[in-house]
Amino acid sequence: MYALNHHDHGTPAVHGAPVTLSIDGADVTVPAGTSVMRAAAAAGGAIPKLCATNTLKSFGSCRVCMVEIEGQRGFPASCTTLVAPGMKVKTDSERLKKLRSGIVELYLSDHPQADAAGDRSELRQVAKKLGLGSTTRYGEDGQTHLEACKDESNPYFTFDPAACIVCSRCVRACNEVQGTFALTVQGRGFDSRIVASQDDGFKESECVSCGACVESCPTGALTEKSLQIAGQPAEAIKTTCAYCGVGCSFTAEVKDQQVVRMVPDRDGGANRGHACVKGRFAYGYATHADRITRPMIRAKITDPWREVSWDEAFEYAASEFRRIQEKYGRYSVGGITSSRCTNEEAFLVQKLVRAALGTNNVDTCARVCHSPTGYGLKNTMGESAGTQNFDSITRCDVILVIGANPTDGHPVFGSRMKRRLREGAKLIVADPREIDLVRSPHVQADYHLQLRPGTNVALLNCLAHVVVTEGLVNEKFVAERCEPGPLQRWKDFVSQPKNSPEVMESVTGVPARLVRGAARLYATGGNGAIYYGLGVTEHSQGSTAVMGIAQLAMATGNLGREGVGVNPLRGQNNVQGSCDMGSFPHELSGYRHLSDEATRQSFEKDWGVTLDPEPGLRIPNMLEAALEGSFKALYVEGEDPAQSDPNTQHVTAGLAAMECVVVQDLFLNETAKYAHVFFPGSSFLEKDGTFTNAERRIALVRKIMEPLGGLADWEVTVRFAKALGYEGMNYTHPSEIMDEIARLTPTFTGVSFEKLEREGSIQWPCNGAAPQGTPTMHVGEFVRGKGRFFITEYVPTQEKVNAKFPLILTTGRILSQYNVGAQTRRTPNVAWHDEDRLEIHPHDAEERGIANQDWVGVASRAGTTVLRACITEKVQPGVVYTTFHFPESGANVITTENSDWATNCPEYKVTAVQVSKVHQPSQWQKRHAEMDRKQKELLRRARAQAGPA
């Protein structure tokens, strides 16, 4: 069932030359290729329909939409009939009404009296317009499907075959929109029915629970369980998803300040009306019983928590920070923002650290994911962000995916990518694993470059070698747009034999012929676009690899227009935004270095303080300094380094060495177990603000319900700053914070809440030069002027396999869980993934006597953990893989301190390990379980003492 405010014109919009026709006596002009149904809608009419919808190609099965066309025999379906100049159409007549009524009456004769959609059922609405009731002339006798069993296996929606009219909208939605092809019509005639996979039931089938079928269902046969429980919503509020970097726009349908369901916004610039299982369904964590809604303090992390008022919590935190600065120095404190924060909240945290605490020791979650993107793209092209919008994929001819798994990590964009591939675009995948994109229904990679982990730069150099030595450089483009000296040095470098695919084959593990084929395809196949993810950045040469990617794009002229580009797939909803907001220790908002005096002075004037011009500590440096004794207090909003950062034992030792850790979050997460102050945080349903997605698209987040803790996140930071004695945060609404951001940040000068309300979303830069924002960057020239090439010498990682640790562990994500799992583990999504597992190749498993589902110890030089084995050929021999969504799995106990040379982004993707069959948890897991039990007990005691909220 579509959203409350959905306008369905029946068939998709098209572009074409204008065609004028007559509908019910009135002329209407529409593009050629438009259906008669849509033309009628454009003319203000509405032809009844059931199988047609404007999100899917027309199908013509229900025949309810038939019309009369002068000069044509019979009664053609208006959804499949295209307009023609001078066509004369009649959409209503007694004859048409009789025919339509006959069809709809037949549907109603085999339909329950009441179904889950109620009055919003399109079938009932069409019936009502035709003057039909729920009883028909056919009576109660005769064969029906009313006794068919419901499929309630999916935790989020029900399939009731009794209410299904086999219009196949769901099948087509799964095919055309989602691209999973999980549904089909089984049987013929009266026996036709919708089944999932091989009639496996939705949960066990290939269905990925995106909900596109549910939304498209016209009868309520597929309906959200939440809708069935809560009833029809009363209002609709647009907001932005808080999960991945796609940043889908949603309409939250709300009743009594509770979300009934989330429906993707058809006009959403990032998602164009589609969603995934997380954004659409997994919002229940916001009201989970684990939510902590009252501030708490304690002197030591072994003490019980004590619930206190907000005032007492602020006073205590501030007094501790001041005491620590007095004792250990100004620079012994700092803060961490995260993508959980809105832009406004991230801006305030870095402002608090700089202005109230007087230090630049502030960092953000991007440290551990896309910080190399910022460095690499800034240096080559001049801006720390991707170059395109998501719509650009519709004009791609060749898609190169490196170190990303869009169908799991960015599912809505993954679906759009698959649609383009089904339309004929070519695909090159560079990944150690056989990700879903390599081979899935109607999609197959033309090249899968299955390289060894840690050899991205070697591979990129090989691709560049082919481009340069085979004369595939776009000489016109580079001559106009790139610095000539560095370009020539780069050409000379990549041309060297050592960078040839043949020489590098033994390093990368990729056959030379595949590399040559892929390079030629990317360089000559038309519009070539590169999409990359953490499989590029989370390496010791992450920044170098990003430069290599940008240079490939520059060399082949694949920049500065639609259909091409360099597209970092940012993992989280506002990681781009938190970077934009100056959450880095060396930069102010808009990626301007602290040493830039004019920039610093503008902030000093606005904030009323003198700012330190020296860079501060990054997160790993903070932890090291804590162990050394010179860093003692930390304010963390929304981030969980104790679970997400590498070498867990090192991280927790660092946290334990601090004297005041302040955590602002929804739950008692891993970091909060080492905290002394807990500020209850707010979910995205409880806040007003903006997120910025991977396309640089700034979109509004709108409050659905009041913050459960009583204060919005931005208010918490303001009050904390005030308690620290800083009076420079006087806001009454987040829009005023954005006004300050716009005042101080050249790429944001045109951004305001008022403009966002009007436009829906804006892609920065948005300023005088680009008042409507910037969908495509580097048009005409690069932000830095001329593009710059760098020598990207391949330097092997220090993390080497050896006899003791002969395998390489790499990590990633899975569709149903998100990041550290704090949100998704508290939703029914655990039905699909209830623990992290170790993927291991059959050969490696057999060598070790490991069977599927066996418990296995995974040991590295950093530590050991135990996971259950999953034997699969998705990984190559010598490589194992796991996810990091469950704290008890300890995936980061085994990752090391190796990091990117430029940014210290951890090398999560390359850890030398050994795997062996075990029969008990690791020592770390035993200690973790005990720590977890103790901390939960301390929390339970605090809550019991305080009584109900």
Which H/E stretch holds residue 760? none
Residue 326 sits in the site that holds other proteins (CB under 8 A): yes
Footprint (CB under 8 A) of other proteins, residues 551-590: 585-586
Choose which of 475, 480, 614, 835 interacts with other proteins (CB under 8 A).
614
- Residue placing its CB nearer to other proteins in the complex, 295 or 616: 616
Q: Of 83-91, 227-235, 791-799, 921-929, which part binds other proteins (CB under 8 A)?
A: 791-799
Give yes or no for a contact between 544 and 464, defined as CB atoms under 8 angstroms apart: no
Least distance in Å: CB of 492 to other proteins?
Answer: 12
Minimum CB separation of residue 625 from other proteins in Å reads: 6
Size of the residue set binding other proteins (CB under 8 A): 52
In Å, the largest CA–CA distance within the chain is: 92
SS3 state at 539: coil
Residue 492 binds to other proteins (criterion: CB under 8 A): no
Tell me how far apart the alpha carbons of residues 211 and 223 are, in angstroms, rounded to a whole number. 9
Binding of other proteins at residue 624 (CB under 8 A)? yes
* Contacting range for other proteins; rule: CB under 8 A; set: 174-182, 358-366, 734-742, 829-837: 358-366
SS3 at position 209: coil
Cα gap 614→616, rounded to integer Å: 6
Which residue in 304, 615, 710, 746 binds other proteins (CB under 8 A)? 615
Closer of 220 and 641 to other proteins (Cβ):
641
Closest approach, Cβ 374 to other proteins, in A, equals: 12
Q: Contact 76/83 with Cβ under 8 angstroms?
A: no
Lay out the site mask for other proteins across 270-309 (x = CB under 8 A, - = otherwise).
Answer: ----------------------------------------
**Interface map 589-608 toward other proteins (x if CB under 8 A):** ----x-x-----------xx
Residue from 3, 165, 252, 356 binding other proteins (CB under 8 A): 356
The rounded distance, in Å, linking the Cα atoms of 610 and 330 is: 14
Considering only residues 513 through 552, tell me which ones interact with other proteins, judged by CB under 8 A: 540, 543-544
DSSP 117: T
Candidate list 394, 630, 649, 767; residue touching other proteins; CB under 8 A: 630
Question: In this structure, what token pair is assigned to residue 206?
Answer: 């290939």
- Compute the distance between CA of residue 626 and CA of residue 332 in angstroms, rounded to an integer: 8
Part of the chain binding other proteins (CB under 8 A), chosen from 109-117, 246-254, 325-333, 335-343: 325-333
Of 896, 931, 894, give the one whose Cα is nearest residue 656.
Answer: 931
How near is the Cβ of 522 to other proteins at its closest, in Å? 24
Smaller CB separation from other proteins, 265 or 907: 907
Q: Which stretch binds other proteins (CB under 8 A): 503-511, 680-688, 793-801, 924-932?
A: 793-801
CB count, 10 Å around CB of 931?
15
CA distance 484 to 374: 23
Checking 67-72 for CB contacts under 8 A at 24+ apart, the result is: 67/36, 67/40, 67/91, 67/96, 68/93, 68/95, 68/96, 69/36
What strands, in cross-sheet order, belong to the sheet with 362-363? 306-307, 296-297, 677-680, 660-665, 633-637, 333-336, 362-363
Contact criterion met (CB below 8 Å) for 555 and 522: no
Q: Which two tokens stand for residue 802?
A: 């050896």
| 610 near other proteins, judged by CB under 8 A | yes
* Torsion sign (Cα): 899, 903, 908, 910: negative
Q: Can you tell me the distance from the alpha carbon of 168 to that of 171, in angstroms, rounded to the nearest whole number?
A: 5
Nearest to 727 by CA among 293, 227, 291, 356: 356
The binder of other proteins chosen from 440, 693, 792, 882 (CB under 8 A) = 792
Q: Which stretch binds other proteins (CB under 8 A): 104-112, 423-431, 814-822, 893-901?
A: 893-901
* Cβ atoms of 692 and 385 closer than 8 Å: no
Let me know how long the chain is: 949
Minimum CB distance to other proteins, residue 311 (Å): 21
- The answer for 775, left when phi > 0, alpha when psi is -120 to 50, beta otherwise, is alpha
Between 339 and 543, CB nearer to other proteins: 543
Q: Of the ranges 69-77, 217-225, 350-358, 824-832, which one interacts with other proteins (CB under 8 A)?
A: 350-358
- 250, 239 in Cβ contact below 8 A? yes
Q: Please say whether the beta carbons of 515 and 501 come within 8 A.
A: yes
Over the window 719 to 758, marking each residue x when it contacts other proteins by CB under 8 A and - when it does not, the resulting string is -----xxxxx------------------------------
Q: Are strands 447-449 and 587-588 parallel, antiparallel or unpaired?
A: unpaired
> Which one among 157, 250, 285, 331 touches other proteins, defined by CB under 8 A?
331
Q: How far is the CB of 437 from other proteins (least distance, A)?
A: 31
Does the footprint of other proteins cover residue 787 (CB under 8 A)?
no
- Tell me: does residue 434 bind other proteins (CB under 8 A): no
Cα–Cα distance measured from residue 256 to residue 259, given in angstroms and rounded to the nearest whole number: 8
- 16 part of the interface to other proteins, by CB under 8 A: no
- CB-wise, 372 or 680, nearer to other proteins? 372
In the complex with other proteins, which residue's Cβ is closer, 8 or 900?
900
| Site residues, other proteins (CB under 8 A) | 322, 325-326, 329-331, 354-359, 361, 540, 543-544, 585-586, 593, 595, 607-612, 614-617, 621, 624-625, 627-628, 630, 724-728, 790-793, 795, 798, 897, 899, 901-902, 904
